[in-house]
A and B are shown apart, each in its own frame.
Chain A
Amino acid sequence: MNLRMTGISKSFGANLVLDDVSFFLGSGEIVALLGENGAGKSTLMNILGGVLPADSGSIEIDGSAVSFSSPRESLDAGIAFIHQELNLINDLAIYENLFIGREIRSKWGILDKKTMIGRTEEIFSQMGISLDPEAMVRTLDASYKQIVEISRAMLMDARIVIMDEPTTSLTETEIDRVFSFMRSLKAAGVGIIFISHKLNEVMEICDSYTVLRDGHMVSSGSIGSVTADMLAKMMVGHDVIEEKRASHACGDIVLSASGLSDGRNFSDISFSVRSGEVVGFTGLLGDGRSELFLSVFGAGTQHTGTIEIDGKPVSINNPWEAIEHGIGYVPRNRKENGIVKDLDIIENGSLVTMKSRKKGIALDIRRIEEDFRKEQADLSIKMGAETDPITSLSGGNQQKVVLAKWLSAGPEILILDNPTQGVDVGAKEEIYAIISRLADEGVSVIVLSSEAHEIVRTSSRCYVMYHGRILTELEGDDLNEHEIMRWATGAAI
């Protein structure tokens, strides 16, 4: 089955996210769909999957025009979208998951278990998978779960499979397993669209590629004609004129770690941060940087290895010990981890220091107000009354309140995980300025981000992580978007 998308355009309001994009997939072909975050990959695939309508352009399958107004119609046409978050029910058996919603019943309306198990075995043997159809999905590892989900698509006669970053949370052996499954699909004539940032994997498994950038199709062709380096360059594109943080003198090493491993998310991590330095940590989704610093902060997994603060080894088992050692931590996903929605603005802004602002046993309200007003002025938080709900603020101002909560504790080391997530452009710039100012004041700032330009913008040095390990350390002229992309995507290995 051939798929041809021609001249696809799509805009959200005034924002043109896809501009005259064309895409081709032959039967039994694996195409890599590449591009940075926001390049338009998901929008294109959502149009193909019937989630979004295109503004203009056409989709043809085997030469005849089709249009999908719902995911159901797309699925009926043989296109299966395998999302990153798998849609499996852990507490049901594999065959039950395969037939969920379309169970085969005998004439009395009773489930025909035997036939369903038989069909499941049939599909597994075609694909060379040895799984017990009656095993619980819970017992499977992530790679087998993906295989089960794709098998379900096969059961529905899917001829085109869209895989959205399937290897993000897999280990090396699991990736090999998924790849060999993909090869069986290919041999059976199924076309696969492989969305991934990991260019070494793309080089290994794909036949051809299509690169999107800012809604345009930049390039497409056969994988044999390009190198991973070339792909990385195409994704970043223009020679970015990067605004860099002016370098300035840093002090002594404040925080250093050596040989940190938690046996699952990260291993053998060593790094150091000086006072007044901004150090970036970047990589793809699932590289383990968030888990690493959550663990350093005492709120994540237990780790082995040593952490030293001001040259003295420390053991941090929970967040309040981390705070006592002068560490502050602004987590990712503000809504889940950052704000407390039932508390008002000033309470959110003083949650960290509240314990120590007391007069007798009562809260020292005046002191708390003084602290908060100082931070409010420093961070220029735009808000109504201090007792308004935190949810009345914009994303950027909520993030500043979360920052205020930590700054009022006067941290020596501040860890910021995705600090500009869900904030508008203006607030982003303000947050960059705040990071810069904090460093000038001597705070050691650690910025975790998957956006290369954010790292270049804020940091004077950066570590690139891949699959739970630090691959390299970039500094000076090497600290640019191309180089980060080359290492983060694994193109450099």
Chain B
Amino acid sequence: MEDTKKGFNFVEWFRKMWTEHPLFSTACALLLMAVLQTIALGFDQASFGDWLSKYLRNWINILRNNATIGIIALGMTFVIITGGIDLAVGSTLVAIGAIIMLFFDGAPPGILAARGITGAPASIIGTPPGRLAGIILGEFTGVLITVGRIPPFIATLGMMKICRSVTQQCMQTINPSVPMPFTKIANLAIGRQMFMPIIYWLIIAFIMYWVSKHTAFGRHVFAVGSNERASKLSGINVNRVKRMVYAIMGLLVGVASVLQVSRIGAMDFANAGSGYEMDAIAAVIVGGTSMSGGRGSIGGTVLGVLIIAVMNNLLNLIGVPPFLREAFKGVIVIGAVLLQKKEKN
């Protein structure tokens, strides 16, 4: 008895955290994976400095490669908290990518060039139309869901098919080259490392976190997802909240699309972004957001993206064949939800 009073009882603390915080188990898993990944990366370097720089490079790669999914997953978190889903993100990413490209000087229809406007910096003329297109597409989806009363799954499934198909048809013969200045958006080197996508992701994550916690809109998102009827009877404009959520989703897909086009310098309209919707949804679920709405967090989603990313990196390092990696992703999703569910009751 005397002993427990003294000092810090780690076992007790751990059990308490494990049972009370749904995300604690996920964070532990991430930590465990980071340790394994560190071991897998090996220590066979000439000096500690060499090892450290290799280690950091690996992490920067992980973060940069997952920034696009990370940004999309942030928007998806809001959508899922309202009780909705957005299956169209991969296709809208491609559609927005195509729209951005049409604004470049080199593009055959050259929307701006045709009007005699040339020489404007590509980074300035490409970005706003991309974001605007995202908002418009998202708002349109939101209107389908609220005014048209189409279930989100169906509305976004439709948008998914429409966006990719129309983009492919329109861009058959058009494949403009992305101007150099535009590629700088994502590839600007800061101290020999290209941090830009990571910086975008972190800034947006912070803004989304702040919005979710400290604005009326953010709290309304949770209220609508938890009890739509009570929210409506409390004077919340439920339809407006839902439209906003899909518009924000669209805006973030726009941002992700700009980054993608800029980073790769081209876009494969048939394959780019395919499967992004499922990856984003997986990250949101692993992050503890409830598919039935009302519960979830931006922090959890960042954690969810990271755990999947680190696991992928780990599997790569220890030489698991690429075909099997998707299976591990599935295991993570099911495992995380199993653990989280156990703790709630």
Contacts and interface: CB of A to CB of B under 8 A. Distances in A.
A61 B98 CA distance: 80
A339 B214 contact: no
A336 interface: yes
Contact of B219 (A319, A323, A363): A363
Interface in B196-233: 214-216, 219-220, 222-223, 225-227, 229-233
A257 interface: no
A337 interface: yes
Contact of B227 (A329, A341, A355, A357): A341
A116 interface: no
Interface in B284-335: 294-295
A338 interface: yes
Interface in A336-389: 336-343, 347, 351-352, 354-355, 357-358, 361-363, 365
B215 A362 contact: yes
A49 interface: no
Interface of B: 214-216, 219-220, 222-223, 225-227, 229-237, 294-295
B113 to A, nearest CB: 39
B226 A351 contact: no
Contacts of A342: 222, 225-227, 294-295
B22 to A, nearest CB: 13
A320 B235 contact: yes
A403 to B, nearest CB: 12
Interface residues of A, number: 29
A363 to B, nearest CB: 6
Interface in A394-430: 405
Contact of B216 (A337, A340, A363, A405): A363
Nearest to A328: B235
Interface in A303-345: 318-320, 322-323, 329, 331, 336-343
| Interface-central residue, A322, A323, A340, A354, by most chain B CB under 10 Å | A340
B229 A318 contact: no
Contacts of B231: 340, 351
A319 B294 CA distance: 21
Nearest to A361: B215
Given A343-B222, A363-B219, A405 B234 contact: yes
B227 A340 contact: yes
Given A341-B227, A354-B216, A319 B295 contact: no
A351 B234 contact: yes
A331 B233 contact: yes
B294 A351 contact: no
11 contacts: A299-B232, A318-B237, A331-B233, A337-B230, A338-B230, A338-B233, A340-B294, A342-B225, A343-B226, A363-B214, A363-B219
B58 to A, nearest CB: 38
Given A320-B235, A320-B237, A323-B235, A339 B230 contact: yes
Given A354-B219, A357-B216, 8 more contacts: A319-B232, A322-B235, A336-B227, A336-B229, A339-B227, A342-B294, A343-B226, A363-B215
A355 B234 CA distance: 11
Contact of B214 (A338, A341, A351, A362): A362
Tell me what chain A mostly uses at the interface: helix, strand, loop, or mixed: mixed
Interface of A: 297, 299, 318-320, 322-323, 329, 331, 336-343, 347, 351-352, 354-355, 357-358, 361-363, 365, 405
Given A318-B237, A363-B214, A343 B219 contact: yes
A464 B216 CA distance: 40
A323 B232 CA distance: 12
A355 B294 contact: no
B24 to A, nearest CB: 18
A310 B226 CA distance: 36
A351 B295 contact: no
B233 A299 contact: yes
- Closest 8 A/B residue pairs (Cβ): A342-B226, A342-B294, A320-B235, A351-B234, A323-B235, A340-B227, A354-B216, A319-B235
B81 to A, nearest CB: 9
A68 B200 CA distance: 70
B226 A337 contact: no
A338 B230 CA distance: 5
Contacts of B234: 319, 351-352, 405
Contacts of B237: 318, 320
Given A340-B226, A341-B294, A329 B233 contact: yes
Contacts of A297: 233
| Interface-central residue, B225, B230, B237, by most chain A CB under 10 Å | B230
Nearest to B229: A337
Contacts of B295: 342
A343 B294 CA distance: 8
A343 B216 CA distance: 13
Contacts of B230: 331, 336-340, 351
A2 B220 CA distance: 60
A354 B220 CA distance: 9
Contacts of A355: 216, 235-236
A343 B295 CA distance: 9
Contacts of A343: 219, 222-223, 226
A357 B216 CA distance: 8
Nearest to A351: B234
Nearest to B210: A362
Given A318-B237, A320-B237, A358-B216, A351 B223 contact: yes
A125 to B, nearest CB: 43
A405 B232 CA distance: 13
Nearest to B225: A342
